A and B are shown apart, each in its own frame.
Chain A
Amino acid sequence: MLAVKVLIPSPLLSYTQARAVEADGATLDALLDDLERRFPGIRFRMVDEQAHLRRHVRFFVNGRQVFELRQALQPHDEVAIVQALSGG
């Protein structure tokens, strides 16, 4: 099991009630599944039913943007979920 630190953006605080949580997962996909188990509903706000990352949600692993759910994660990685700019 991996302990990955996940930074939560303000639009998702209603799910986690915390700016940072720890989750498990060998890939970004698995990490989001783990978040879903603990915070029901959170995954669908970020990933659509065709397993595409939503247009204005971005993921950074250790400061580097990633675009694939199959992105591998290592123990003690830091995943930042970021709300991209989406207009006024």
Chain B
Amino acid sequence: MPDSHDLQPTPAGVSTPRDGSTLLLVATRKGAWIFHGNAARTDWMVDGPHFLGHIINHVVLDPRDGNTLLAAAKTGHLGPTIFRSNDMGATWHEARRPPAFATASAGDGGRAVDHTFWLTPCHANEPDAWYAGTSPQGLFRSEDGGDTWKPFSCINDDPTYRTWMGTVQDGTPDGPKLHSVIVDPRDPAHLYVGMSGGGVHETVDGGRSFTPLLKGLEVVEGFDPATPTFHDPHCVRLCPGNPDRLYQQNHCGIYRLDRPGDTWRRIGRNMPPEVGDIGFPMVVHPRDAQTAWVFPMDGQTVWPRTSPNGKPAAYVTRDGGESWHRLDRGLPAEQAWWTVKRQAMCADTCDPVGLYVGTTSGELWMSDVEGGTWTCIARHLPEIYAVEAWTGPAPA
């Protein structure tokens, strides 16, 4: 194992970086941590735990103000909520109205939010507006920086969508989820969402109506791909360098979609057959739409969901998925049986791009050369659910 980066404790409340340095927001099964990197990304100071013992599914910094943090939280006992901070975690304030479905009339089988899984800031021209995806599948919006949330009833309560969402028994082991809430940077009314299960869907009218976007996607053998319920997108990403291109890591392979086309192409067929194209995360380059990364897992037989053969590696494509290259230098060479969950791999916006991976075994790995070599930043954290990177503006 390589040595860890230098790691120093830092008190909560360190200000948002204004020197081109990078923050990592790490959400885990037992709390949240904030890692403050220097501009060179060689030294990291740890701030945490925040919310020790809480199940934190996502922590996101608002890129529009570079200041507001939202954290999606629950505990083993208590219901879900959202916490907000405007001082980099020195103080947190609970949302006055967390995401919650509409209360159903008696006997109508209304749903209850188990946890908020995904947080996405809305369009740059919609300050203080956020989207949240929940388990079970629900989409919510806040107009006030995450303090109060309202349901998107057009999808949450639509009878057809409710059928497509299936039941809790149809979903992933820790609950069916709405995730990958993507806002087109050119149009705040154009959104994509993913549902596990339920497939990928699009709205072009600000959420008044949604339509499935499933052509070309495969489903588990024996099921009908025309039925959205059977689709399981694990992670969908839009390329900042070309907002007409989407990449997707699905339960059944890796895909690319170029709009205005509507048919996904399984670019995972070009992965080495001995590794396959099953995994959770999907990461895109902040500028080059031909470049994307995945972190494969073992999806054979009983679906161990571990690194294939205990040898973890990222794979990169530099040509839009025509070819893939293994990136494992510095990662354990054997007997590493962890998994990288769908929100636990991300990229920063530096050049070269930094990549960050959080593992189910509580390790935080990074590469400051786009995956060419990997170094462990932290070990012994709880199971990591999500990692988000944010690089502050460089000094003028």
Contact = CB atoms under 8 A, between A and B. Distances in A.
Query: Is the pairing of A and B real?
Result: yes
Interface of B: 75-79, 81, 94-96, 98, 100-104, 110-113
Contacts of B113: 48-49
Contact of A87 (B76, B94, B104): B76
A6 interface: no
Interface in A1-29: 9, 11-12
B103 A51 contact: yes
B79 A45 contact: yes
A52 B112 contact: yes
B77 A50 contact: no
Interface string A59-88: 000000000000000000000000110110
Nearest to A15: B94
B104 A50 contact: yes
Given A41-B96, A49-B101, A54 B81 contact: no
Contact of A45 (B78, B102, B110): B78
Given A49-B112, A49-B113, A50-B112, A41 B81 contact: yes
Main SS class of interface, A: loop
List the 7 closest A-B pairs by CB distance, nearest first.
A48-B112, A86-B76, A45-B78, A49-B100, A83-B77, A56-B77, A50-B110
A86 B81 CA distance: 18
A32 to B, nearest CB: 12
Interface of A: 9, 11-12, 40-41, 44-52, 54, 56-57, 83-84, 86-87
Contact of A11 (B78, B98, B110): B78
6 contacts: A12-B78, A44-B98, A48-B112, A49-B113, A50-B101, A83-B76
Contacts of B94: 40-41
Contacts of B100: 44, 48-49
A9 to B, nearest CB: 8
Contacts of B111: 50
B68 to A, nearest CB: 19
Nearest to B96: A40
A45 B55 CA distance: 13
Given A46-B79, A54-B79, 16 more contacts: A11-B75, A11-B77, A40-B94, A44-B81, A44-B100, A45-B79, A48-B112, A48-B113, A49-B102, A50-B103, A51-B103, A54-B78, A56-B76, A57-B78, A83-B77, A86-B77
A47 B110 CA distance: 14
B104 A84 contact: no
A83 to B, nearest CB: 4
A33 to B, nearest CB: 14
Nearest to B98: A44
A38 to B, nearest CB: 14
A49 B96 CA distance: 14
A42 to B, nearest CB: 9
A15 B98 CA distance: 16
A56 B114 CA distance: 12
Given A40-B96, A50-B104, A84 B79 contact: no
A34 B110 CA distance: 25
Contacts of A45: 78-79, 81
A73 to B, nearest CB: 22
A64 to B, nearest CB: 20
B50 to A, nearest CB: 13
Nearest to B100: A49
Given A41-B94, A44-B98, A54 B77 contact: yes
Given A49-B110, A50-B110, A52-B112, A44 B79 contact: yes
Nearest to A81: B77
A52 B111 CA distance: 10
A83 B95 CA distance: 22
A16 B104 CA distance: 30
A59 B70 CA distance: 31
Contacts of A44: 79, 81, 98, 100
A78 to B, nearest CB: 20
A83 B77 CA distance: 6
Contacts of B77: 9, 11, 54, 56-57, 83-84, 86
Contacts of B103: 49-51
A86 B194 CA distance: 29
A36 to B, nearest CB: 11
A55 to B, nearest CB: 9
